[in-house]
Amino acid sequence: MRGARSGALAVVLVLAAAACNTGGGGDGGGGTAGPCDPGDKASDSGIGVGVAFDVGGLGDQSFNDAAKRGLDAAIDAGAVSRADCIEPNATGSNRDDNVVLLADEEYELIGAIGFAFSEGIAGIAADYPDTRFAVIDGFATTIATDADNIVDLAFKEHEGSYLVGAAAAMTSEAGTIGFLGGQRGTGLIEKFQAGYEAGAKAINPDIEILVEYIGDDTTAFNDPTKGEALSAKMYDGGADVVYHAAGASGAGLFQAAVAADGLAIGVDSDQYLTASPEQQPHILTSMLKRVDTAMEDVITALAAGTFEPGFKVFGIAEDGIDYSKSNTDLMTPEIIAQLDEFKAGIVDGSITVPETPEG
């Protein structure tokens, strides 16, 4: 069922359509197949999936790319008949317009990749009762409390950050490490910081942790230049390992690590695998936030008729959080054994990881 929108918004959507990657789905799809089009892998499931990316878009080697991998996995599993994805403008100010554009194309499921979509979808979802909305890191269901077509997919980022914090402390020779955050003040990135600090202090209670945030809005996740400058500041301040939770801005950390001959820790995806040969020796590990798992799960659930609205959380126990071991030169058996011991403690409840930073 299509929702009624104003004529003014229709003009905006026509302009947005010209800039989107079309997947050939829907009555108005057409055009050249975009990066989310299932092509010859399209199934007869009848499930169409639209994906609205957040700032940074495809190629961020982090959050958005992980969501795309989840869509690809669902396509490979035969759960998707058609798909399309849209990237936002540089500030993300057209997020809601992109969601409406996909909803008007009558996709059965729309994946919104980022917490910043929550308020908009809480208002939009009622206009499209036959469309399901999945919000990564979302809180839409806390606003639209009676909505039966929204699921918020959340993660226990603090758990994985605890593990890489321990790895940082075990590797640091200086006794000083750093944390680079993207947007401050939402509580989300602070969860990464809290877990990282706690994990590091579990290894070395006296470790010094430098902290820098890039900004106060979502553009902080798409500013690698500032990410590099703040990372360099921490290396210059004595840190020899820096962890980022800053989306595409984290690319700046890797550049700074090379320049300072320091170590970096990636986030969301295994960023060692997408780094340049020059950067790879400087990437200790990555905190794996399995956005791909969450996306694949919600798509295949809808295809199987088992979609459930509400709030779903992925942690270590749910295989939604982990750490990477790709850098075999740095991730020694000793580090891996310690991190796996901490994982077991988190799962069995003997370790409680804080969600807010100290102080």
- 111 strand-pairing partners: 51, 134
Q: Pairing state of beta strands 48-52 and 109-113?
A: parallel
Q: Same CATH fold, 158-288+328-348 and 7-155+291-314?
A: yes
Give all strands of the β-sheet with 208-215 in edge-to-edge order.
208-215, 176-183, 241-245, 263-268, 283-289, 321-323
The confidence score (pLDDT) of residue 5 equals 37
Is the separation of the CB atoms in 64 and 57 below 8 Å?
A: yes
Identity of the residue numbered 291: V
- Bridge partner list, 244: 180
Q: What's the pTM value of the predicted model, to 2 decimals?
A: 0.83
Phi-psi region of 92 (alpha: psi -120 to 50; beta: other; left: phi over 0): left
Cα separation, 64 vs 130, whole angstroms: 25
Strand 150-155 relative to strand 132-136, pairing: parallel
- Structure token pair of residue 296: 């694949």
Say how many C-beta atoms besides its own lie within 10 A of residue 208's C-beta: 15
| pLDDT in single tens digits along all 359 residues of the chain | 334 333 333 333 333 333 344 333 333 333 346 899 999 999 998 899 999 999 989 988 888 999 999 999 999 999 999 999 999 998 999 999 999 999 999 999 999 999 999 999 999 999 999 999 999 999 999 999 999 999 999 999 999 999 999 999 999 999 999 999 999 999 999 999 999 999 999 999 999 999 999 999 999 999 999 999 999 999 999 999 999 999 999 999 999 999 999 999 999 989 999 999 999 999 999 999 999 999 999 999 999 999 999 999 999 999 999 999 999 999 999 999 999 999 999 999 999 999 999 87
| CA 151/CA 331 separation, integer angstroms | 36
Give the domain ranges of the chain.
Answer: 7-155+291-314, 158-288+328-348
Model pLDDT, residue 61: 83
Cβ neighbors of 310 (< 8 A, separation 6 or more) are 141, 151, 152
Q: What is the DSSP letter of 120?
A: H
CB 318 within 8 A of CB 288: no
- CATH code of 7-155+291-314, in short, is 3.40.50.2300
The radius of gyration of the chain from alpha carbons, rounded to an integer in Å, stands at 20
Q: Is 29 exposed, middle or buried (0-12, 13-18, 19+ CB in 10 A)?
A: middle
Q: Tokens 């790709």 label which residue?
A: 326
Q: Which amino acid is at 282?
A: H
**pLDDT for res 33:** 60
Consecutive H or E run containing 231: helix 224-236
- 48-80 burial, b for 16+ CB within 10 Å, e for fewer? bbbbbbbbbbbebbbbbbbbbbbbbbbbeebbb
C-alpha to C-alpha distance for 171 and 161, rounded to whole angstroms: 15
Contact 149, 125 (CB under 8 A): yes
Distance CA 268, CA 11 (A): 36
Closest Cα partner for 16 from 85, 69, 117, 113? 85
Cβ neighbours of residue 342 closer than 8 Å, sequence gap 6 or more: 162, 163, 166, 199, 202, 351
Do strands 321-323 and 283-289 pair parallel, antiparallel, or not at all (unpaired)?
A: antiparallel
Q: Which residues pair with 264 in a beta bridge?
A: 242, 283
CA distances for 201 relative to 197, 210, 325, 345, 350, angstroms: 6, 13, 21, 16, 16
* Assigned fold of 158-288+328-348: Rossmann fold (3.40.50)
The predicted pLDDT at position 18 comes to: 33
